[in-house]
Structure 1
Amino acid sequence: MCRSVLIFTLLIGLPHLSLADRGRSSTGEEALRSLGEPSIERSLERFDESLFGPRRGEIPSALTNHAPKDTPELIEAQRDLSFLEGLNLPDLPIRFDSRIVRYLESYYHEPRGRAMMRALYTRYLRYAPMIKRTLEEAGLPEDLRCVAMAESGFQKDVLSRAGAAGMWQFISSTGASLGLEQNRFIDERLDPERATEAAAAYFSGLYQRFGSWELALAGYNMGHGALLRSIQKYNTNDFWELSRLEAGLPFETSHYVAKILACAIVLRNVERFGLDEIEVDETLPQAHLIAPAGTRLPQIARAAGITVDELKKLNPQLKRDRLPPGSGHYRVRIPERAANARTRFKIERSDDERVHELRYGESLAAVAAKHGVSLAELQRMNDIARRETLLAGERIFVPNREPARLKRDESIVVAVPDGTLRFADKRRVFYRTLGGERIEEIARFFELPTDALLAWNRLDPGVPLPSGLYVQLFLPRDRTLDDAILLTEDEVTILEIGSEEFFAYHEAQRGRIRFVHKAQEGETLASIGERFGLSVGSLARINQFSRNHRLRPGDSVIVYAELDRAPQEIVQASLGKSGDENGASSALPESAGSR
């Protein structure tokens, strides 16, 4: 077997990130628990309503519409706001809106707010160098770091109920648009470095679109499309004005921006808010290792002298026990103690595997058979659960050998509602269902209207399709067929449902012939069935009769009979027609009714 030596190159001198949340609680998190909060995540969820209550009545109005001087002119006799004197201001624009002030009061005065900010700041310190470097390189305000506080509490692997993931809480589609890879093997939304790079790119786009950081922050939270509609509806691009108007902005968004700006003030005044004595949790200095796609994690762990569990904690984006398939390389974090500037890992990797990209309609069983392995072995190679469903376009590992040419059934017969249906600019193909697909899913993949598929096929759009159906499709002639398992017209026999040819074919598969019997005086379904070897139930089903149906002389009864039970003149006539090069006649043979 051919083997090759692969070099893993190390990049060191990276920011010191935490190995993971290693079970050690910060002082802030301990304080939150003492106040009845189970976690910082639950505290974040309930914090806004604890300060402002459910959204009823008016949103608090701004204390001033002007950027503050060094000493903000905030005078309320019943509140001690002297702690706001002489604050260092962030690199985001600040208006001392009442909501911002209320957050700051909580962070400064109240046990719950102080505990939560201490816990958040402790987490932030683990990632501070990396976040600062990334934002600086993108030319963005450093205080955008507070978005990760509002989104996830600086948790790198958190998953929301809505499906948003990671420190910056990207939904799948947004993450993909920003270049974050997501598949069975990896989810880069959970990689704090890659996600922070994506967040920087996203913020750059939002600021370019809206021109103010308040609106950019609002767009990050509620979506730029919804924000733009609100701007156009109220004819204003002033965030603070929108936040006061009825239905101008969601409750969450109005307070989301205020919370981020308050956090920015706190992080610029850590001594004022009692955070200066906090030390970063014990961290594990890290290096990067560049590994070829498909490498198994135990190989990397052995080379780095660490356990697979340690490797996974450092790389929460890795979902399986190997790197994703492909021809490229991946950046993997390892402890710096496992490497130095002159270290290289030489790891042998056999070339007995290659990458296969699944086509639409391709089953794992078919892939396994094609590559000479069992389905169980293919699932083991790719860490595929027994009932797991893979999507078209996903890449899996297969044995690196010449695929076998599977013998295709030479007599594939497809039934269609209308055998004359044609389109001059399209070609007809057939998709064989694997089971569980829905018609709208098939339409979406082939970029066809669902209504068109329903018109071309007799299918119920409300239920999943069973396996073994052939869905008739009319595709543009220039569309490639390489991304799906399809049959062309040349590869199948097409029969129109209900035609004589349709019934003749299917009954011939069972050694039977179909004909019409003319009922004679005194005949019943039972007597006809006894004569031709059918039950009353079978005759009733074939003819859509009830079991108690009374026959009259001359009534036509369709019969499916085995060849030795059918009238021989009909059998001979049928055999003669089947040998006719012009094909079978469309006329249904009739029995004379003689006994």
Structure 2
Amino acid sequence: MRVLRVKAPLRAALVLFCLTLLLGCAAKAPNQSAEPESAAVSSGNETAAEAVETSSDNQTVAVEESGSVSPATEGERLDPELAAEAPEIPQELTPQQEKVLEEKTSELEFELDVKETETFVRYFKYFTARDSQGRSTRGRRAFERWLERARPYLPYVREVIRQRGLPEDLIFLPFAESGYNPKAYSRAGAAGMWQFMPFTGRKYGLEVDWWIDQRRDPYKATHSAVDYLTRLHEMFDDWHLALAAYNAGEGRVGRAIKRSGCNDYFEMTESRRYLPRETRNYVPKILAILKIVKNLEELGFKPIDWNYDPKLKAVDVPGGTDLLAMADASGVPWKEFERLNPAYRRTVSPPDITTKARLPQDKIQPALAYLEKPESRPYAGYSRYKVRSGDSWWRISRRFHVPIAVLKQVNKRYSNLLKPGQWLTIPAQGKALAVDTSVEKTRQVAKRRANYTVCSGDTLWEIARAHQISLSSLKQANGLTSGRYLRVGQKLYIPGGVVGGSSGSGDLREITYQVRRGDTIWAIARRYNVNPSHLLSWNNLTRHSIIRPGQELTIKVD
């Protein structure tokens, strides 16, 4: 047998080529047979763009400013009842269910042909069934919850769809997508009641970044969804295929049509070869939902109130507005503001765009008054940070969990250099850093009872020592967690103290005091109920100055 001898350089090249092939196969293998498990709007041309935005674990996901995905503390997971396949219900159809299934007339003008496939009947049973005791099953309870959740949005969605001339069936599409939950995130990264993926959301005019996620704006996202559905129908000229494309992406449905050689959704889904399981079940699920909503009362559900008015009004919010302070000025609790405006991800609005916030009608005027004079309100949505020696953008970003690009944007900084002593504005992290209600009440009480004005050079420790109270008592009385951000002129309440600390209150007279053995600046200031910093200033002293027995000091008293 002849042995083929290969030169060393060629041998090395062959080894490298084989290793590359092996590594490539290993990298691709886990995703080759993957099948999506959660409803998400995607498009056929976004495969590469969305690849970095997909999470394979069970955590809720949200898109950060860079476009990557991280756990979303402010989002909610999709209801488990929205799974890709409805479970079997052991109970037989009741006579009422049988009657509804056989009924062909409807109050709504259904433009989708309701084809009663086996999957359709399974979803119909799952969302309407009661157990042997007459109690609602899990699927029915979920549908009842979705009807209640959809109540504020259904009239608006119907109005938009009517204006655009689309089938009114599409009003109920968010039932299949998210259970009409504006804050829902899927494991794949789709968000909002229309379940847009980030790429598709941006493509249809929705801002998705660190500050805001307009996929969760039920009003703005509705217009984007209608635009997308219109385009899908123009592409496929069939609503069943358009809905399949809404779920799987137009690229995938287009390839399925080409491979199967037919353009009928139900004929195509007779085989498992062309579309994923979720998409094969998606249209029957929607058709089952449509059958239910046109027969709500017959099936024992509450009817939809198409005249429901949530009594909300939109107000234009300029970029960089402190939402926490605006909500407080309007008399709207922060949790209520979040519920009404789920798109905001921070307590500060995006710096460079004007957004819309919805508030109860009777709260609009106070909100407009605040927006006209924002400088007169406390910036509760921001904190200030003084740059220390050794600090960098990266360190500060890690400390406050705010992206570097956002920190630079808020502070209008373009350089990578920071100087010790420089002040930076840090945007709050949303509800995780929102001011606690009880703490805010303490601060309001302390402001009304204030008997001390902070002076230059003051620290909480020095103020507490001068007034013979503990540091923790001083913090607790004023609702403070740290003394890092004391401001000159800030009012504090000193428990057990009297009004003092301000050099400009009332007519003052000067007296001369002769220092005795054992005296300190703090002891003298406490004896005459004056601010230690003022006492130092009146006598051209610093905190490090030494006073000696016999030395004369000037003291200004009432």
Q: TM-score, normalised by structure 1?
A: 0.48
Report the count of equivalent residues.
322
Separation (CA, whole Å) in 2 of partners of 1:338 and 1:80: 46
Q: 1:264 to 1:42 in 2, by over 3 A?
A: same
Higher helix share: 2
Structure 1 residue 324 corresponds to structure 2 residue 344: no
Quick check: 1:183–1:394 contact (8 Å CA) kept in 2? no
Query: Which structure 2 residue ranges, 5 or more long, are not aligned?
Result: 1-76, 131-135, 377-384, 419-558
Q: Secondary structure at the match of 1:270?
A: coil
The CA deviation string for residues 97-125 of structure 1, in whole angstroms up to 9 with x for no partner, is: 33223333444444424333222222222
Matches within 5 A, 1:302-313: 302-313=328-339
Q: 1:107 to 1:309 in 2, by over 3 A?
A: closer
CA deviation after TM superposition for structure 1 residue 257, in Å: 0.4
Matches within 5 A, 1:384-395: 386=399, 388=401, 390=403
The CA deviation string for residues 412-433 of structure 1, in whole angstroms up to 9 with x for no partner, is: xxxxxxxxxxxxxxxxxxxxxx
Q: Secondary structure at the match of 2:169?
A: helix
Separation (CA, whole Å) in 2 of partners of 1:350 and 1:378: 29
Separation (CA, whole Å) in 2 of partners of 1:308 and 1:94: 44
Amino acid at match of 1:213: W
Moved more, 223-232 or 99-108: 99-108
- RMSD after superposition: 4.0
Q: Pick the aligned partner of 2:98 from 55, 70, 81.
A: 81
Quick check: 1:181–1:187 contact (8 Å CA) kept in 2? yes
Amino acid at match of 1:48: A
Q: Pick the aligned partner of 2:81 from 43, 49, 61.
A: 43
Separation (CA, whole Å) in 1 of partners of 2:330 and 2:146: 32
Higher strand share: 1
Separation (CA, whole Å) in 2 of partners of 1:258 and 1:161: 22
Matches within 5 A, 1:27-426: 41-45=79-83, 48-50=86-88, 81-83=98-100, 84-88=102-106, 90-110=110-130, 111-112=136-137, 113-276=139-302, 285-326=311-352, 328-339=353-364, 345=370, 347-350=372-375, 386=399, 388=401, 390=403, 396-398=409-411
Amino acid at match of 1:135: I
CA deviation after TM superposition for structure 1 residue 261, in Å: 1.2
The CA deviation string for residues 215-246 of structure 1, in whole angstroms up to 9 with x for no partner, is: 00100111111111110001110001001024
Amino acid at match of 1:85: E
The CA deviation string for residues 511-567 of structure 1, in whole angstroms up to 9 with x for no partner, is: xxxxxxxxxxxxxxxxxxxxxxxxxxxxxxxxxxxxxxxxxxxxxxxxxxxxxxxxx
CA deviation after TM superposition for structure 1 residue 292, in Å: 0.8
Separation (CA, whole Å) in 1 of partners of 2:112 and 2:210: 38
The CA deviation string for residues 436-465 of structure 1, in whole angstroms up to 9 with x for no partner, is: xxxxxxxxxxxxxxxxxxxxxxxxxxxxxx
Q: 1:272 to 1:140 in 2, by over 3 A?
A: same
Q: 1:406 to 1:213 in 2, by over 3 A?
A: closer
Query: Which structure 1 residue ranges, 5 or more long, are not aligned?
Result: 1-38, 53-75, 352-367, 408-595
Higher-RCO chain (CA-CA 8 Å, sequence separation at least 6): 1
CA deviation after TM superposition for structure 1 residue 87, in Å: 3.6
Amino acid at match of 1:259: K
Separation (CA, whole Å) in 2 of partners of 1:186 and 1:101: 40
Separation (CA, whole Å) in 2 of partners of 1:96 and 1:187: 37
Q: Secondary structure at the match of 2:301?
A: coil
Separation (CA, whole Å) in 2 of partners of 1:344 and 1:262: 49
CA deviation after TM superposition for structure 1 residue 295, in Å: 0.8
Separation (CA, whole Å) in 1 of partners of 2:334 and 2:97: 53
Quick check: 1:93–1:213 contact (8 Å CA) kept in 2? no
Amino acid at match of 2:361: E
The CA deviation string for residues 569-595 of structure 1, in whole angstroms up to 9 with x for no partner, is: xxxxxxxxxxxxxxxxxxxxxxxxxxx
Q: TM-score, normalised by structure 2?
A: 0.51
| Matched residue, 2:421 | none
CA deviation after TM superposition for structure 1 residue 248, in Å: 2.4
Separation (CA, whole Å) in 1 of partners of 2:121 and 2:242: 21
The CA deviation string for residues 34-87 of structure 1, in whole angstroms up to 9 with x for no partner, is: xxxxx98122327524369xxxxxxxxxxxxxxxxxxxxxxx9x9973332344
Q: 1:263 to 1:51 in 2, by over 3 A?
A: same
Q: Quick check: which has more Rg, 1 or 2? A: 1
Quick check: 2:320–2:349 contact (8 Å CA) kept in 1? yes
Amino acid at match of 1:151: E
